[in-house]
Amino acid sequence: MKKPQFILAGAGLLVLIVLYFGGNTIPPKKNSESKEQSVATKAVDIQDILQAWKSKLTPSQLSYVNRLENSVVRGDVRNQQLTVYKELAVFWKDSVQQAFLPQAYYEGEVAKLEKSEKKLTFAAQLFLENLRGQDDPSIKTWVSTEAKELFEAALAINPRNDSARVGLGATYIFGNASNSPQETMQGVQQILQVVKEDSTNMYAQFMLGLGGMESGQFDRAIARFTKVIEHQPDNLEAILSLAEAYERTGNKKEALNWYSAAKKKTGNKELLQAIDTRIKSLK
């Protein structure tokens, strides 16, 4: 199975990196307090999230979405839902910039209805890839819950799905809104089991590196990221993660070395500018 795109850790570059690799997770604000922000004071409901995003649509877009949402009637409801959810997932992906939550929600609903291991894993990864960029604790909890449900459904079909096993472990680590050490360790142990069975699984090795960053075990994170780069020398996310890990240990020389190496792996102007800012701050 193809390994999903890595998720980058690191405080210094986190905001830009999330945008560059994973996409924004919240709708652009229309005023000082968005509708989506307001749901943080209560249990998150997907309808509240969808309504916040729908408030950003043009009249024609809103009419299209409402028509789709109301088109499921009597008869073969399951197939009608499948058709509608697929169209809504495509709409939120292609028609609205950075509309992660609505797209991921509908991709997940399609996967649940089809009960496809591949689609369940894909939908779960959509949630996981954006989990670290979510600051709102309530929404973060909802995102991690959705990811866990989808990963577990994929594993119920195929318990040997290593991408889902690692993804589930990572969800426990990065969706840990309460910062529970037990929950973090549960995720780490899940990933470690995969590594014990296959030490060449670089997705698992990378996630353990991110787990080290999350728990403040930077030396362990450095060892994991180094191993990934040895096997995948062009892995930009791993290189930037290694630079960040060295920076957090106070090793400016190695941090500068790896930030400079990262510059050679990308042509993205915003990312290059952010890296240059980090380099200047270390000199």
Extract the tokens encoding 145.
């819950």
| 258-275 pLDDT tens trace | 999 999 999 999 999 999
Least Cα distance to 209 among 5, 9, 2 occurs for 9
| 181-233 pLDDT tens trace | 788 888 999 999 999 999 999 999 999 999 899 888 999 999 999 999 999 99
In this prediction the pTM is 0.81
pLDDT value for 140: 87
Rounded to an integer, what distance in angstroms lies between the CA atom of residue 235 and that of residue 3?
13
> Average pLDDT for residues 31-44, to the nearest whole number?
45
Q: Are 230 and 222 in contact (CB under 8 A)?
A: no
Extract the tokens encoding 26.
């919240």
pLDDT value for 41: 40
Residue 182 CB partners (closer than 8 Å, separation 6+): none
What's at 166, amino acid-wise? V
Q: Could you tell me the pLDDT band of residue 33, with boundaries at 50, 70 and 90?
A: very low
The secondary structure of residue 40, as a DSSP letter, is G
Extract the tokens encoding 180.
């529970």
Extract the tokens encoding 214.
């999350």
Rounded to an integer, what distance in angstroms lies between the CA atom of residue 150 and that of residue 131?
14
What is the residue extent of each domain of the chain?
Answer: 160-215
Mean pLDDT of the chain: 85
